[in-house]
Amino acid sequence: MILQEKYTLSNGVNIPKLGLGTWFISDEDAIKAVKDAIEIGYRHIDTAQAYMNEHGVGEGIRNCGIARKELFVTSKLAAEIKSYDLAVAAIDNSLKTMGLDYLDMMIIHSPKPWMEFHEENAYLEGNLEAWRALEEAYKAGKLKAIGVSNFQQPDIENILKSCSVKPMVNQVLAHISNTPGKLIDYCETNGILVEAYSPVAHGELMKNQEVLKMAEKYDVSVPQLSIRYCLELGLLPLPKTANPVHMKNNANVDFVISGEDMEILKSMKQIENYGEASMFPVYGGRLK
């Protein structure tokens, strides 16, 4: 069962192969969502400072009835934080807000502030500053693993040139019809696990007739096919939902997509429109 399976990060830490994403889940609703997910069998919860629900996620973690060491909790350093001092304070604030002694992982949410996501300034120095703060928190035991999100190859190369601890994950937009193959290969070559957020393309894949037909062939839902697709590629999918029925459905992916069908899915025409999500920088300009 996928909820019991784990990847091993480059530092030897085990991370469950399927996580619960909590973007757009309110602080209040996050408490129940986390508890429901853990009761179903999830052991990996993903949040972020930008989601404004760290308090609720932390409360759910603390009151779920499962030992803390059995859970893997990730948060993200806000994209706008590009200085060492601000990063140190933000890391400590996340721990305080969540009421946790440590986080299993913290990652830089974006190489650039969201409002400048498509601007030329790469914030190379700012990312090194933020990374130094993550490294120190990691060495102090506050964080069990550290990584990045939405980083392209040049952004990662910038970190690798001067870091004392290599990024362990890169969390990116990856799904059927938008699979950044070169970036995934680069990350794997450097021992960086790729996590896939929005594995169902923010719901847009539900409208894709080719994907619907393929899901019917395997007698599964589109989310199940989409999550299995990511797993077949060695990625770690993070489907977001507060609905326990969907949580169970998303975890019921013990089937195999044939190699031939994987090639069809990999070569599917790239999605052009993410609907309402297109207003967000990551969806408005797709990762390559």
pLDDT reported for residue 85: 98
Q: What is the pTM of this model?
A: 0.95
pLDDT reported for residue 285: 52
Taking residues 146-171, report their average pLDDT: 98
CA 103 – CA 143 distance, rounded (Å): 5
Q: Does position 286 have pLDDT exceeding 50, yes or no? A: no
Q: Does position 105 have pLDDT exceeding 90, yes or no? A: yes
Taking residues 46-50, report their average pLDDT: 98
Residue of 7, 42, 51, 123 with catalytic role: 51
Q: Are 98 and 55 in contact (CB under 8 A)?
A: yes
Is 274 annotated in the active site? no
Where residue 43 falls (left for φ over 0; alpha for ψ -120 to 50; beta otherwise) is alpha
Q: Does position 236 have pLDDT exceeding 80, yes or no? A: yes
Is the pLDDT higher at 148 or at 285? 148
CATH superfamily, domain at 15-167: NADP-dependent oxidoreductase domain (3.20.20.100)
Structure confidence at residue 288 as a pLDDT band (50, 70, 90): very low
On average, the pLDDT of the chain sits at 96
**Cα angle vertex 59, ends 37, 31, to 5°?**
45
Residue range 254-285, pLDDT digits in tens: 999 999 999 999 999 988 788 888 888 888 75
pLDDT reported for residue 278: 80
Percentage of the residues of the chain whose pLDDT score is greater than 90: 92
Domain ranges of the chain: 15-167
pLDDT reported for residue 276: 80
CA 204 – CA 246 distance, rounded (Å): 16
Q: Does position 287 have pLDDT exceeding 60, yes or no? A: no
Residue range 71-93, pLDDT digits in tens: 999 999 999 999 999 999 999 99
**In sequence order, which residues have a C-beta less than 8 Å from that of residue 96 and are 6 or more positions away?**
none
Q: What angle separates helix 27-40 from helix 54-62, to the nearest 10 degrees?
A: 40
pLDDT reported for residue 226: 98
